Amino acid sequence: MTHCCAEMAKHLDEGEVALRYDPRFRGYGIPIFDGGSAKQQINFCPWCGSRLPESLSDKWFEILDEMFPDFDGFADDRTPEEFKSDAWWKKRGL
């Protein structure tokens, strides 16, 4: 993944700052330390100020809800393999 600047890439690669990138959703966020996987989405790079890509988490759920009307989110074992990575949105040109 190409990030907006070298500083962003460096810090995400090093993993030493409270910032995470989720390729599945193309989203950037700050982890919420509540014992779960929740993150506070950020919209701008803290180093260069660039606008970050829009998260695709809503689209992820929308597509899977269409595929499986009773879809149960992250706990649902029917999630197709392509939806466990960035393959799903790259395949669709999002």
Asked if the model's pLDDT at residue 76 lies above 80, the reply is no
Query: What is the C-alpha separation between 55 and 70, in angstroms, rounded?
Result: 23
Please write the tens of the pLDDT for every residue from 10-56: 999 998 899 999 999 999 999 998 888 889 999 999 999 999 999 99
Q: How confident is the model at residue 85 (pLDDT cuts 50, 70, 90)?
A: very high
Beta bridge partners of 40: 30
Q: In terms of Cα–Cα distance, which of 83, 73, 17, 23 is closest to 46?
A: 17
Pick from 8, 7, 89: nearest CA to 55: 89
Whole-structure pTM value: 0.83
Res 34: pLDDT: 87
Q: Report the chain's terminal Cα–Cα distance, integer Å.
A: 14
What distance in Å separates the CA atoms of residue 48 and residue 91, rounded to the nearest whole number? Answer: 29
Please give the DSSP secondary-structure letter assigned to residue 5. S
